[in-house]
Amino acid sequence: MSPDFFEALSQIEKAKGIKKDVLIEAMKDALLSAYRKNFDGQQRNISVEFDNKDGFKIIAKKQVTEKISDSKQEILLSEAIKHKHDCQIGDVIGMEITPLDFGRIAAQTTKQVITQRIREAEREIVYKNFRERIGEIITGIVQRVTVQNILVDLSKIEATLPINEQIVKEKYRIGDRIKTYILDVKQATKGPQIILSRTHPEFVKKLFELEVPEIYEGIVEVKGVSREPGARSKIAVCSKDANVDPVGACVGMKGMRVQAVISELSGERIDIALYDDDPQVFIKNALSPAKIISVTANVKIKSALAVVPDAQLSLAIGKEGQNVRLAAKLTGWRIDIRSESEMNKERDAAARKQAEEELFKKPEVIIQETETVLEKLIDDTSLAVEVSEDVMPADDGAIPQTVETEIAVEKAQEITVIGMVGLDKKIAKKLQEAGIYSIEQINDMSVNELRKLPGIGKVSAEKIYNTIHQINSE
């Protein structure tokens, strides 16, 4: 075999990283296919062998027999001995059957195989290289603009920026230099397919890494990014060094660092929030620039309620809910926004409802409480009478025990609210609205007098009258 052949293989190995053995095996497969195509497609048990002296040879495997029935598969012992002197009946020997004009075909095939293998090797190298760079920023030149995609030249390969990964308001022209985020790398028939993005949240993070040395060095950490491409982004940062202000580091002197990122994103607004392990504090920071009065968090369901001054409500919610929506994405919490006045109204309504529930308890509960009050008052009065009889001399001015008991009952009636008489809740509420709060106030009223009360009809007046007199008779 010509020394030039081996020299060429060595150069390919150095330049493209393809080993000689790999190329030789590929050429053997290609030569075998070429032989079958050009000479004998029916021949079986053939192979291609290679040695440094003779190069490539076509070898056919034949069985040694005494009588030939298939010349392509068998050989007589007398012929076999010429190729291998110690062979016997039944042995399988290899015989060279390389055609005389096979050299031209071999040269052409070798060239094609080497070219193809070089191309495949280059594709594999590019694929592995870019596969390892997923998540990085790369700069390219706009090569072609179509309806669905933008083709970007990355010097060694052409990448694709799909329409759904483009910022809506941006316009691109051929020849423009463009920064993009390597989103994915796929292996395709024609070579690696590189997918780029300018809308991914990580693109914002990587841009800050380029502009903020503290992030690149690991002093300041980006904890999260939420984004609505082309409109607004929120980024949460924290510092591993107590002496470094993470928000200030990202903003830069006179806002130069953050402005560089905003400029790259075609004016996209960026809010930088201080991260905190306390979800209430983090949510409060994430809702900036709005001022937050308080945040109440439910850890179990990851839901939070933020209260803001009335004047800050629209700012906290943002245009079409954008601010609170981005804050929710950034923190991973569901966030509800309430104004201060709205919360006060809700608290007042809750207090009124609780008061009404206490006022209109079930009749049996109220009666039980009334009996307890009566018993206590009577016991206290009886005790007072006993003490009076023991300590004070009896005279005509002494108050009999029965009178003391009547006083206690009267006091109990005075503190008995309308709900205690066991009336229908609606009727009791109407009496309350009319200013009636105790049995004593309506104890001596007739049906006609009760009917004159606001909201009390004939039927209701009769029910009230009968209920009161039933209680008095008991």
Which residue segments constitute the domains of the chain, with CATH numbers given? Answer: 3-125 (3.30.1480.10), 134-197 (2.40.50.140), 201-273 (3.30.300.20), 276-357 (3.30.300.20), 360-473 (no CATH)
* Cβ-proximal residues to 129 (8 Å cutoff; 6+ apart), any chain: none
What would the pLDDT profile of 230-269 be if each residue is shown by its tens digit? 999 999 999 999 999 999 999 999 999 999 999 999 999 9
In this prediction, residue 297 carries a pLDDT of 93
User: For residues 464 and 456, what is the distance between their CA atoms, to the nearest angstrom?
Assistant: 10
- Tell me if residue 195 falls in helix, strand or coil: strand
User: For residues 94 and 295, what is the distance between their CA atoms, to the nearest angstrom?
Assistant: 87
Q: Which of 134-148, 282-296, 333-347, 374-388 has the lowest mean pLDDT?
A: 374-388
In this prediction, residue 252 carries a pLDDT of 94
> Pick from 243, 213, 208: which is nearest to 223 by CA?
208
Q: Measure Cα distances from 133 to 99, 124, 127, 158, 190 in Å.
A: 50, 14, 10, 15, 20
* Cβ-proximal residues to 152 (8 Å cutoff; 6+ apart), any chain: 140, 141, 142, 143, 158, 159, 160, 161, 178, 180, 196
Q: Is 441 exposed, middle or buried (0-12, 13-18, 19+ CB in 10 A)?
A: middle
Residue type, 21: D
pTM greater than the 0.85 cutoff? no
> Pick from 94, 95, 100, 104: which is nearest to 34 by CA?
104
For residue 226, pLDDT beyond 80: yes
User: For residues 234 and 226, what is the distance between their CA atoms, to the nearest angstrom?
Assistant: 5
Give the pLDDT band of residue 103 (cuts 50, 70, 90): confident
User: For residues 13 and 55, what is the distance between their CA atoms, to the nearest angstrom?
Assistant: 19
Whether the CB-CB separation of 104 and 159 falls below 8 Å is answered with no
Please give the average per-residue pLDDT across 356-379, as a whole number.
Answer: 55
> Pick from 199, 200, 207, 202: which is nearest to 250 by CA?
207
- Largest Cα separation within the chain, whole Å, is 162
Please give the average per-residue pLDDT across 214-237, as a whole number.
Answer: 96
- Tell me if residue 337 falls in helix, strand or coil: strand
On average, the pLDDT of the chain sits at 81
How many CB atoms within 10 Å of residue 97? 17
Angle between helices 363-391 and 401-415 (to 10 degrees): 150
* Cβ-proximal residues to 280 (8 Å cutoff; 6+ apart), any chain: 295, 296, 297, 304
Q: Measure Cα distances from 264 to 57, 208, 253, 268 in Å.
A: 62, 11, 18, 9
How far separated are the first and last CA of the chain, in Å rounded? 130
Per the structure block, which two tokens stand in for 402?
Answer: 């029965």
Between residues 391 and 192, the one the model is more confident about:
192
User: For residues 386 and 401, what is the distance between their CA atoms, to the nearest angstrom?
Assistant: 9
> Pick from 432, 427, 429, 434: which is nearest to 454 by CA?
434
Whether the CB-CB separation of 32 and 83 falls below 8 Å is answered with no
What would the pLDDT profile of 284-304 be if each residue is shown by its tens digit? 999 999 999 999 999 999 999
What would the pLDDT profile of 407-453 be if each residue is shown by its tens digit? 444 444 443 444 544 567 777 777 777 777 666 677 777 878 777 77
> Pick from 412, 423, 420, 417: which is nearest to 465 by CA?
423
What would the pLDDT profile of 153-189 be if each residue is shown by its tens digit? 998 789 999 999 999 889 999 999 999 999 999 988 8
